[in-house]
Amino acid sequence: MHEHRSHPVPAEWAARALINAERYAQMYAQSVADPDSFWAKEMHRLDWMRVPTQIKDTSFAADDFRIKWFADGTLNLAANCLDRHLDTLGDEVAILWEPDHPDTPSRTVTYRELHEATCRFTNLLKAKGVKRGDRVTIYLPMVPEAAVAMLACARIGAVHSIVFAGFSPDALAGRIADCASTVVITADEGLRGGKKVPLKANVDAACAKVRVDTVIMLRHTGADVPFVEGRDVDWATAIAAQSADCAAEEMGAEDPLFILYTSGSTGKPKGVLHTTGGYGVWASMTHQYTFDYQPNPDGSRPVYWCAADIGWVTGHSYVVYGPLMNGGITLMFEGVPNYPDFSRFWQVVDKYQVEIFYAAPTALRALMREGDEWVTRTSRKSLRLLGSVGEPINPEAWEWYYNVVGGGRCPIADTWWQTETGGHMITPLAGAHALKPGSASFPLFGVQPQLVDPANGHVLEGATEGALVITDSWPGQMRTVYGDHARFIQTYFTQYPGKYFTGDGCRRDEDGYYWITGRIDDVINVSGHRMGTAEIESALVEHDKVAEAAVVGMPHDIKGQGIYAYVTTMDGVEDTDDLRRELIAWVRKEIGPIATPDVLQFAPSLPKTRSGKIMRRILRKIAENDVGNLGDISTLADPSVVDDLLKNSPHAK
Ligand code: WTA
């Protein structure tokens, strides 16, 4: 649990990195003491149409709440990702695309090609009536066209809402409806690990439930899919008819850029809304500093690979916006780590001479289990820096990543952040901080973490453990929950008034390092994907044989957390193995494969207090098989319920 090993900053990193220890200390102090001057300088990493004169205008106080950054500035983020690089990098690589199967031809897209494709696609959106402020849903696989679609929205000022291509038609329909987007961009099929994902069919099924006027479809696998006249548009044919000339809209810094749905403790997923200026500065700055993204000594640009899907925030900030704003080379990978075999990641690293590699611990743990041989048979000499994201990385996986994958040469940036934060918040910087395996280490510029006592909100000082809050705004912060500002305030700012509550628990050690311990609300983190237990429960109770359901997380060797569901069936329904399989398949269909319960236990009744509240603490303990330690159960309306749960737990068998 308490890890004491530490890896000092390598001398070559201290000498060459953009941020060394001294610079970190000086910049961090300034970012907190005088944010206006700090950000007035940092903001020049972007090209502004009108340079902001107002920098930070924020308050988390209930009676004076506002979050505005660079408010009187104007800019366009697509122009920042594309146009401004044309003179210097026009014929250089922007995107390297590696397909699902190594025998399929890969692709290289230059900045000029990406610019042209984006301009044509923007004109197509305009021709379909899309205007600034309109919402556009993107449901695409990991192909360069996904970046084109995002950037085209940004160019026109439309707000993109990307839905992960693994979500079900129902989940897609819910997200389309919530933000009332009448345009959906998709592909015939996706490909992952050799399996086809029926994207267009899913869109068609979603369209049966919600109003969609236009579906733009990319032909990717060439599958024969139904085409609805008047609604569906073939991507390639349609853009061929469009001009490659398209001016970028002048957007206000606080105009929305995108919505991304994410799970919370309660209710349906919320549309996290990010705006243009602050998000742009944050994604660009964090990508540059965390990954030390600067030209190599020979002047070449490092090949950078973030293995996340564009359907998650990591894909937004660190596959597309961050690297492209910084004129980088971003590798987009369509496939999965274990197909065709467990060497796939490292073969791709060798193929493109990747220098910076960024992935989730869940993938690393799955590969670690298969043995070192899959890794060591590849070279990986090009690697310089490794990153981790999405969930706590256990020290064992950290050491494996460090020693086996990185050959003991590459520092690891364990980046803690959230969909809500827009970009990295707490992470070691390779040139500045000695590494402690499993610790996200120190806050980035402008980030002011604090640990508070979850029971009473009292600030905890020194080496301690508590709920992680952030006491002041940073530019990349989400601005609202789309269509529900009250929910935004309620979710993040009421628990500990005047502070942003992250939902995470955290420890701070005697050296001031931060160690994220995981969610302390009803969110679980499955393979680095956020799931709300409430969402899975509501999918279960929609089944006509289910009376009640409660879902909790359970420890899982590979996924970090697994999904443990307790289900009470309707009177007269028999609890059979067939029904268990049916219910598991049902959740998979309702939400998507990532929500598939790992364990489903039938429970004649759930442990409730006299006021009818489910005591989740007990359910968690049973799921964790920590039953010697159930705590006080005397407040239960019927304590005998617990015996029955214990008797029927899979751990008991
Ligand atoms: C967890 C993903 C430990 C955390 C970028 C957070 C982490 C949630 C780390 C956000 C990390 C993310 N160490 N935990 N390095 N990074 N988390 O919105 O619980 O999908 O609250 O954003 O992931 O998940 P989200």
For residue range 42-78, list pLDDT tens digits in order.
Answer: 999 999 999 999 999 999 999 999 999 999 999 999 9
In short, whether 503's Cβ falls inside 6 Å of ligand 1 is yes
Return the ligand 1 atom nearest residue 415 CA: 15
Residue bearing the CA closest to ligand 1, atom 14: 391
CA distance 185 to 206: 13
- Residue 516: CB within 6 Å of ligand 1? yes
88 Cα to the center of ligand 1, angstroms: 36
Name the residue with the closest Cα to ligand 1, atom 24. Answer: 418
Q: Identify which of 290, 294, 288, 518 has the alpha carbon closest to the alpha carbon of residue 387.
A: 290
Q: How confident is the model at residue 651 (pLDDT cuts 50, 70, 90)?
A: confident
Q: Report, as an integer, the average pLDDT of 413-436.
A: 98
User: 418 CA to middle of ligand 1, Å?
Assistant: 5
Instruction: Please tell me if the CB atom of residue 415 comes closer than 6 angstroms to any atom of ligand 1.
Output: yes
Residue 405 Cα to ligand 1 middle (Å): 22
Within a 13 Å sphere around the CA of 249, how many CA atoms are in the beta-carbon half?
A: 23
Give the Cα separation of 258 and 274 in Å (integer).
6
CB atoms within 10 A of CB 545: 16
For residue range 382-397, what is the model confidence (pLDDT) as tens digits?
A: 999 999 999 999 999 9
List Cα–Cα distances, 332 to 73, 282, 340, 404, 648, in angstroms: 32, 21, 17, 24, 45
The rounded Å distance from CA 344 to ligand 1 centre is 25
**CA 541/CA 20 separation, integer angstroms:** 53
**Distance, CA 380 to ligand 1 centroid (Å)?**
27
Residue 175 in marked binding region: no
- Which of 653, 621, 467, 649 has its CA nearest to residue 554? 621
- Give the pLDDT of residue 4: 62
Section 449-468 average pLDDT: 97
519 CB within 6 A, ligand 1: yes
Site to substitute for ligand 1 among 263, 265, 389, 416, most atoms within 8 A of C-beta:
416
Residue 527 marked as a ligand binder: yes
Among the listed ranges 17-31, 63-77, 479-493, 637-651, which one has the minimum average pLDDT value? Answer: 637-651
The CA–CA distances, whole Å, from 560 to 47, 343, 597 equal: 41, 22, 14
| Residue whose CA lies nearest to ligand 1 atom number 15 | 416
CA distance 150 to 144: 10
Residue nearest to atom 10 of ligand 1 (CA): 418
What is the residue with the minimal CA distance to atom 7 of ligand 1? 391
- CB of residue 387 inside a 6 A radius of ligand 1: no
Nearest CA to ligand 1 atom 22: 418
**What pLDDT is recorded for position 3?**
52
Ligand 1 centroid, distance to 525 Cα (angstroms): 8
Query: Average pLDDT for residues 276-291, to the nearest whole number?
Result: 99
Average pLDDT, the chain: 96
Q: Which amino acid is at 563?
A: I
Cα gap 620→216, rounded to integer Å:
44
Q: For residue 97, how far is its CA from the centre of ligand 1 (angstroms)?
A: 26
Q: Is 301 in the pocket of ligand 1 (CB under 6 A)?
A: no
Band (pLDDT 50/70/90 cuts) for residue 597 is very high
Instruction: With cut-offs at 50, 70 and 90, classify the pLDDT of residue 332.
Output: very high
Judged against a pLDDT cut of 60, whether residue 596 lies above it is answered with yes
Which is more confidently placed, 5 or 50?
A: 50
Of 479-488, 499-508, 618-627, the poorest mean pLDDT is in: 618-627
448 appears as a binding residue in the annotation: no
Say what the pLDDT of residue 5 is. 82
The per-residue pLDDT for 266 is: 78
Task: Quickly count: other Cβ atoms within 10 Å of residue 582's Cβ.
Answer: 12
CA of 142 from ligand 1 middle (Å) equals 21
491 is known to lie in a ligand binding site? no
Paired tokens of 584: 């598991």
How far, in whole angstroms, is CA 76 from its chain's centroid?
23
Residue 1 confidence (pLDDT): 46
Tell me the per-residue pLDDT of 137-178, one tens digit each, with 9 for 90 and over: 999 999 999 999 999 999 999 999 999 999 999 999 999 999
Whole-number Å distance between alpha carbons of 283 and 425: 11
β-partners of residue 7 are 435
- Average pLDDT on 248-273 reads 94
CA of 22 to the centre of ligand 1 (A): 28
Q: Is 418 annotated as a binding residue?
A: yes
Q: Whose CA is nearest to atom 12 of ligand 1?
A: 390
Q: Is 300 annotated as a binding residue?
A: no
Q: Is the CB of 394 under 6 A from ligand 1?
A: no
Measured by CA distance, the residue closest to atom 13 of ligand 1 is: 392
Nearest to 556 by CA among 576, 529, 575, 537: 529
Whole-number Å distance, alpha carbon 138 to ligand 1 midpoint, is 23
Of 413-427, 544-558, 600-614, least confident by mean pLDDT is 600-614
Any atom of ligand 1 within 6 Å of the Cβ of 414: yes
From ligand 1's centre to the CA of 152, what distance in Å?
28
Pocket test for ligand 1, best of 321, 418, 420, 469 (most atoms within 8 A of CB): 418
Atom of ligand 1 nearest to the CA of 530: 20
Work out the end-to-end distance of the chain between its first and last CA atoms, rounded to an integer number of angstroms.
29
Q: Is 192 annotated as a binding residue?
A: yes
Q: Does residue 315 register a pLDDT over 60? A: yes
Is the distance from the beta carbon of residue 522 to the nearest atom of ligand 1 less than 6 Å?
no
Mean pLDDT on 514-536: 92
pTM of the model: 0.95
Beta bridge partners of 214: 183
Are 145 and 218 spatial neighbours (Cβ–Cβ below 8 Å)? yes
| Average pLDDT rounded to a whole number, residues 260-271 | 89
Tokens 């298969």 sit on residue: 370
Nearest CA to ligand 1 atom 1: 391
Return the ligand 1 atom nearest residue 392 CA.
3
590 — alpha (psi -120 to 50), left (phi > 0) or beta? alpha
For ligand 1, atom 6: residue with the closest CA: 418
CA 465 to centroid of ligand 1, rounded, Å: 18
Ligand 1 center from residue 424 Cα (angstroms): 10
Atom 23 (ligand 1) nearest CA: 390
For the CA of 427, the closest atom of ligand 1 is 15
